[in-house]
Structure 1
Amino acid sequence: MSLADGYGNTLTTRSAEARDHYESAVTLFLGANREGLAAFSHCVAADPQFALGHVGLARALMSAGRTSDAKDALKTAESLAFDVTSRERDHIAATGLVFSGQSAKARQAIRAHLSDHPRDVLLAQMCASVFGLIAFSGEAGHEASLLAFTESLLPHYGEDWWMMATHAVSLCETGQIAASEVLMARSLALNPRNANGAHFKSHALYERGETTAGRQYLTTWVQDYDDRGVLHGHLNWHLALWALHDGDEGAMWAILDGSVGPGASKGLPINILTDTVAILHRAEIAGYAVDPRRWTAASEYAAQYFPNPGQSFADLHAAIAHAMSGKGDRLARLAESSSGYAGDLLAPVSLAFGHIARGRWSDALDALVPVLPVAERFGGSRAQRDLVELAYVNVLMKLGLVEEARRTLKTRRPVLSDAPPVSGLT
């Protein structure tokens, strides 16, 4: 008996129950819903020999932060790969490359695989969005590459909510906001409880400067989202950021302390670190007083979860935390490293924020100037990389270069120029 998933891919399982659980799990996982973990568990319980079910379970466990369990699940899948289709075998192998940290090889393998199997959606998902293998490639122009990637897949998916949401964020990150919102609306109409869709819509609202509309939409949407969901903390980061832009300091701190920061968020360490640091430094740039103990806690968290340089997006934020907390030894280690996909940017960024922490504004400017044009290489979204943009504008302000600060914001991030979240720049 030949069974297939919801995307038409043949599955090596004789169990219709396992197939049904797998299909449900894929839908839940693509929507960043925590229930996908249970669905994948039910899938492999129904057929313990279903290799791709174990791969899906590994992916869900990794998203839940259970790294050791995820690796065990993948090992089980690899042990079953001898009697599966070639598509499934390549799917397992590509996932193994990702799990072993061979991102460049994984990216190459997945691209080649998708040329023959464009609807192998869980592999496509690995490369897509602002946290995928393309965004974290360290390459200049990766936003255009991501757009080309999703655009090439779009014709193969029809009216698929995941593909539409994924292409929509590619459009958004390349400045095509109106087209992004049209596609996003179609996606969310098909699956309103798609957390990735809600996330990507939030980015479009941010890029349009719709602070009030963004707060209203996301506050309502997140109420029914499990706080153990992988995007719960990050969606609340968007709310905290909008509260900052709105001048609602009390709400900003309440959201940070209740849903975003260490001890509050149940998300992945990379999100907890980067979201916390971004709020703290952007709050300082906006003129709010930040308790030094917050910076110390952020530095301790970075040291615990990212002790060794290598994940450049996390390293950028770790450098800020270490600099602002006065942890010179930790900052020096980053400055002396070139590890990671954008490792060559670590030294100037570490130096820049070290100077910022000490109020050495001219030195900070010298260090930031070569970073600013290539900050995209750190990965993440435009909204997240605004941390670097605003840090640069803030340095200009500290040097009394007010008109240059205005001009920089107007030309590089015009969406922030009408009501700039920078102290003294109104």
Structure 2
Amino acid sequence: MHAYHCYAGDAATLLDAAIAEAPGFVMAHVLKAYINLVGGNTQEAVVGVGAFETARQLPATDREQGHLAALGSLLAGEIRGAARILEDVSIAWPRDVLALHVGQLLDFLQGDSRMLRDRIGRALPAWSRDAPDYHAVLGLLSFGLEETGHYDRAEAAGREAVALEPRNNWAQHAVAHVLEMQDRRADGVTWLTQDGQPWAKETVFLHNWWHLALFHLGQGETDEALRLFDGPMFGPRSDHAFDMIDAAALLWRLNLRGVDVGDRWQAVADLYETQPRGGYAFDDAHAMMAFVAAGRESTARGLLELQTTVLAGPGDNAVFTRDVGLPVMQAVYAFGHGDYVKAVELLRGVRNISGRFGGSHAQRDILDLTLIAAAGRSGDHSLEQALLAERAAARPLGRPEARKLAA
């Protein structure tokens, strides 16, 4: 559990040892299922399903039954249902930090910023600073506060969590989100590089390297962003869904700035080709970036055609795709083929509801950046200037970055 909360260390080996010693340990199987099913790859998903199948055959308490029900909903593609079940588990057992942790991940997948915060806030009266795992609760609280715009409180909670447990990658990342949203780029570099980067020791959370690359990119240090991409961020060639999203998102931002990224897109597109598509719209949108930028025309068109099946299918992803995912994929495809007018039209239609297909504010910012660039390249300079003014008002230091995009 500690390794999982910190995203550091080898949780899988520890879990397997626990299961070998106590095969009837329901929550060990449950944790193994969560770890392998949320944000993993195809092979890990198979392991996760197996862990769930084992767990549901075992005698279980009411609390454990709640986790099993959540896993069942998740496997049925009902992310919102699984999140609601874990919400009820947390209400009944507010010290169940696993329910809080996984519940917040599911809130993230559906872009429910209010629950990212309130799921944790409800449980706070049951916690105190001297309780085990309090650092994990603070890290979760920090991210929820950041996603609802409470930046000062979010930063304070995140910094306190890291002071309690320097290896807590989630808390480290929550503070990085605050600094990203406030355009405090230099502060962001300092935050992620200070004290020998204790968060990076044993980390399995490559997302923090993405944040560091964004901070350097925001300061115009494209060479350093590319160095991080080639090194700790994408050097491992991770095929985990979250890691591939980060790789595509960073390269797309560089493309918007006109930076030549060489053949890096090919490696990202190769990874996306190995993974199933059509399961989660936020993943598919980033896969489209990779396929378009790498020149994989038939694969890109195939991804668009696949969405017809997704829209007719069961589960929450049909809604995520209908409301936001498909228009975003179409916009990325249009942008990549020089149809900037169409890209503008599509992105303007979804940008204000983009939270419906998941991700964080920092991740979804790529839609606004693409819209600004598309407006400029389409010749609609009135819209471009309006978007630049909007961004400058919302993010006081954002205007120079946005201007570079439109150059």
Q: Which runs of 4 or more aligned residues in structure 1 lie more than 6 Å from their structure 2 counterparts after TM superposition? A: none
Q: Name the residue aligned to 2:373.
A: 394
Moved more, 157-166 or 92-101: 92-101
From the two aligned structures, give the one with the greater helix fraction.
2
Deviation at residue 88 of structure 1 after TM alignment: 1.9
Q: Mark the runs of 5 or more structure 1 residues left unpaired by the alignment.
A: 1-25
Deviation at residue 218 of structure 1 after TM alignment: 0.9
Q: Name the residue aligned to 1:286.
A: 257
Counterpart amino acid of residue 57 in structure 1: K
- 1:96-127 per-residue CA deviation (whole Å, 9 max, x = no partner) reads 43245332331232222222222222122112
Once the two structures are superposed, the pairs formed by residues 81-100 of structure 1 within 5 Å of their partners are 82=59, 84-100=60-76
The yes-or-no answer on 1:56 pairing with 2:31 is yes
Distance in structure 2 (CA, Å) of the matches to 1:191 and 1:299: 36
Two-structure CA RMSD over aligned residues (Å): 2.5
Distance in structure 1 (CA, Å) of the matches to 2:248 and 2:397: 19
Distance in structure 2 (CA, Å) of the matches to 1:118 and 1:318: 37
Q: Which has the bigger relative contact order, CA under 8 A and spacing at least 6? A: 2
Q: Name the residue aligned to 2:187.
A: 213
8 A Cα contact 1:77 1:92, kept in partner: yes
Once the two structures are superposed, the pairs formed by residues 139-158 of structure 1 within 5 Å of their partners are 142-158=112-128
- Judged with a 3 Å threshold, the aligned counterparts in structure 2 of structure 1 residues 256 and 46 are, in CA distance, closer, same or farther, namely same
Distance in structure 2 (CA, Å) of the matches to 1:350 and 1:325: 15
Moved more, 158-167 or 235-244: 158-167
- 1:291-315 per-residue CA deviation (whole Å, 9 max, x = no partner) reads 2x3333322322221x331211101
Q: Name the residue aligned to 1:37.
A: 12
Q: Name the residue aligned to 1:6.
A: none
Distance in structure 1 (CA, Å) of the matches to 2:200 and 2:17: 20
Q: Name the residue aligned to 2:274.
A: 304
Say which SS state the counterpart of residue 419 (structure 1) adopts. helix
- Number of corresponding residues: 388
8 A Cα contact 1:227 1:266, kept in partner: no
8 A Cα contact 1:61 1:67, kept in partner: yes
8 A Cα contact 2:110 2:356, kept in partner: yes
Distance in structure 1 (CA, Å) of the matches to 2:74 and 2:15: 19
Counterpart amino acid of residue 28 in structure 2: G
Match of 1:275 among 227, 241, 246: 246
Structure number with larger C-alpha Rg: 1
Distance in structure 1 (CA, Å) of the matches to 2:103 and 2:14: 23
- Judged with a 3 Å threshold, the aligned counterparts in structure 2 of structure 1 residues 97 and 343 are, in CA distance, closer, same or farther, namely same
Distance in structure 2 (CA, Å) of the matches to 1:184 and 1:44: 33
Q: Mark the runs of 5 or more structure 2 residues left unpaired by the alignment.
A: 311-316
How many percent of aligned residue pairs carry the same amino acid? Answer: 25
- Judged with a 3 Å threshold, the aligned counterparts in structure 2 of structure 1 residues 249 and 155 are, in CA distance, closer, same or farther, namely same
Q: Name the residue aligned to 2:313.
A: none
Q: Name the residue aligned to 1:47.
A: 22
Moved more, 196-205 or 342-351: 342-351
- Judged with a 3 Å threshold, the aligned counterparts in structure 2 of structure 1 residues 239 and 70 are, in CA distance, closer, same or farther, namely same
8 A Cα contact 2:244 2:268, kept in partner: yes
8 A Cα contact 1:181 1:201, kept in partner: yes
Q: Name the residue aligned to 1:73.
A: 51
Distance in structure 2 (CA, Å) of the matches to 1:154 and 1:388: 34
Deviation at residue 390 of structure 1 after TM alignment: 0.3
Moved more, 95-104 or 278-287: 95-104
Q: Name the residue aligned to 1:419.
A: 400
8 A Cα contact 1:299 1:322, kept in partner: yes
Once the two structures are superposed, the pairs formed by residues 10-21 of structure 1 within 5 Å of their partners are none
